[in-house]
Chains A and B, each alone.
Chain A
Amino acid sequence: MDVVYKKWNPDEGLEEVQAKIYTGVSGLPARPEEIKPRNIRRGEDSTHYVLSKEGEPLAYVTSWINDENPTEGGIGYPWSFPECPLEAKEKIFSELFTHLKKEKKLKDIRTGIVLSSKIAKDQIKFFEEKGFKEHERAYRFTKDLDVDKMATKKLEGKAAELKSRPATNDDVDILIEVALSDPQLNRAFPDEDGFRNYFENRVLKDGNAVLILDGDKVVAASAALKLKPDGVFLFGDEERVLMRFTAIRPGYDYAWKKLVVEIAKPVKNAGWKDIPIRVGFGFNVEGAVARGVAGLIPDLEEYELFMTYKVE
């Protein structure tokens, strides 16, 4: 089969190709509009594609170097459709891997394997054969909260003094500002336009967004989103309401409780009161005890396996 090799460029819709291959092979969701800015940030040499002569998607692989820590980089699995020749898949991976290994400062090349991927076992085997070793696992601690109980919950202390109001189309700038103030959230999009697009065209369109205020100052924001299980953000087979983004201004961690209570109110009004609100946070662990204990805890979801290759 004649194939064409390409590097990333922002003008040919390669992000669509990439999303199509990833979702088709892994069964997991991907958004072209999130892939594009990520690929731009990583640079043209960091993502390689295999296409058929007719331009049909066959395979891709992507890599990165940590902006803040140049000793750490990563490479993804060479995702490919069954019709992609094996040599082509191997070629794009080994070229990129070789290229990474030549980076002077790089000590660790990492890869993450989302364990709910349809081919997680093949991915693990592939990277083991390339000399990658298990490094740590990512877990998610999750809890389902009852909508009625949360909507009527009496808060105490500082959280009780905060006020709230629904977010409207006039609040886009306020949402952007509070999102950028949150150190965990402010890297979700590469620039302010990314946030603007997200809030205007997704969050506010769907509604159920709330703002939390300390006096006149907006200190937190989130929005309720009803989600069907997708194997990434939501496991299992039941719908849940998620807090789709959670922006908290530094120093206002205590506003989170108020946010949950205020999110529960529109959820109740929307008639979703029988669907619990799923809250949680992620963390990484390594070692026998942590994995053993985690295996006994129903509220913990094992989510991703990280493997590392040590550059000599």
Chain B
Amino acid sequence: MDVKYTIWAPDKGLEDIQAKIFSHASGLPERAEVIRERNLQRVPEMTRYALTSEGEPLAYITARDSSSEEGRTYVGYPWTMPGCPPEAQKKIFDEMMAYLDKRDETKEIGTTVIQRSKLRNTQIEFFKKQGFVEEEHVFRYILALDVVETSKMKVSEKAAALTSKVATEADMDHLVEIFLAEEGLRNQISDADGIKSYFRDRVLADGHAVMLFDGDTIVAATAPLRFQPNQVRVIGDEERIIMRFTAVKPGYNYAWLRLLVELAKECKKTKWTDIPIQAETYFTGSGPASVGLAEICPELDDFETIMVKRKK
């Protein structure tokens, strides 16, 4: 088979190809517009594709620098479509690793394997063969909170002093400001136009976004979204109200509980009292007790495995 190799470039529909390969191979959801944003923030060499000579998707691989662990670069699994020649899969992986080996800023290479991926075991075996060692697990603790009960929850005096408001189009500048204040969100969409279109076309179109202010300053915002289980964001088989984005200004950690309460009030007003609100936190743990406990405790979700290879 004739295989074409290419690195990322915008406006060629490569993000659609990438989403298609990932969803097909892993069985997990992915959105092309999120991929596009992400790829635009990395150098083109951090995303590589194998295509047929007609431009049909065969395989791709990505890498990214960790935002919190200095010197660590994460590489993905070389995802493939059925019919991709194994040599092509190997070639994009080897070329990515050779590229990362030459980068001074990469001191160690990590990979994350999502527990619910259809190919989980294949991925783990693949990386083990390449010299990666299992190091930690990312766990997710999931709470399902009753809307009415949560709307009555007591918050600290400081949090009670903040004022709340349901967002409208007139609040666009506030929303952009708080979105950019949250590192995790900023890493997903960084340009003001992209953020505006996210709020205008999706969040505000669906409505019910709540904001908290300290005087005139926006300090937190979120919005409820009824969400069907997709086995990543919502697991199991019951619908949940998720906090579709959560932005809290640094220094205002205490505002989160108030934000949750205001979200619950808004859900109650909308008569979304039939399903619980899902609140969740991710954390990294290591050691056998963490993995063993996740098997015993249903609220503790063993979300992904982190494997690491240190450079020589």
Contact = CB atoms under 8 A, between A and B. Distances in A.
A148 to B, nearest CB: 16
20 contacts: A141-B285, A141-B290, A143-B293, A143-B296, A143-B297, A184-B286, A220-B288, A248-B287, A257-B295, A281-B287, A281-B293, A285-B283, A288-B220, A288-B252, A289-B256, A290-B281, A292-B260, A293-B280, A296-B143, A299-B297
A256 B284 contact: no
Contacts of B283: 139, 283-285, 290
Contacts of B288: 220, 246, 248, 252-256
The residue among A141, A145, A290, A299 with the most chain B CB atoms within 10 A of its own CB is A141
Interface in A280-312: 280-285, 287-297, 299-300
Given A283-B284, A288-B252, A256 B257 contact: no
A284 B139 CA distance: 12
B256 A260 contact: no
Contact of B257 (A141, A246, A285, A295): A295
A253 B291 contact: yes
Given A281-B287, A295-B257, A289 B293 contact: no
Interface in A239-256: 246, 248, 252-256
Contacts of A287: 184, 248, 253
B287 A289 contact: no
Given A141-B300, A143-B293, A283 B285 contact: yes
A252 B259 CA distance: 43
Contacts of A256: 288-289, 291-292
A227 interface: no
Interface string B272-312: 00000001111111111111110111001000000000000
B126 to A, nearest CB: 17
Nearest to A279: B289
Nearest to B246: A289
A143 B141 CA distance: 14
A295 B154 CA distance: 12
A149 to B, nearest CB: 11
A256 B287 CA distance: 9
Contacts of A294: 141, 281
Assign chain B's interface to a size class.
20 to 34
B255 interface: yes
Interface of B: 139, 141, 143, 145, 184, 220, 246, 248, 252-253, 255-257, 259-260, 279-293, 295-297, 300
Contacts of B297: 143, 299
Nearest to A248: B288
Contacts of B280: 293
A257 B260 CA distance: 36
B293 A280 contact: yes
Given A279-B292, A292-B279, 12 more contacts: A246-B288, A257-B292, A281-B286, A283-B290, A284-B283, A285-B283, A288-B220, A289-B248, A289-B279, A291-B256, A292-B257, A293-B279
Contacts of B287: 184, 246, 248, 253, 281
B281 A281 contact: no
Nearest to B71: A69
Contacts of B289: 246, 256, 279-281
Nearest to A243: B289
The residue among A253, A254, A294 with the most chain B CB atoms within 10 A of its own CB is A253
The residue among B259, B288, B291 with the most chain A CB atoms within 10 A of its own CB is B288
Contacts of A139: 283
B143 A293 contact: yes
Contacts of B290: 141, 281, 283
Interface string A136-150: 000101010100000
A292 B256 contact: yes
A283 B140 CA distance: 12
A291 B281 CA distance: 8
A294 B253 CA distance: 12
Question: What are the nearest 6 A-B pairs in CB distance?
Answer: A292-B256, A288-B248, A256-B288, A293-B281, A256-B292, A253-B288
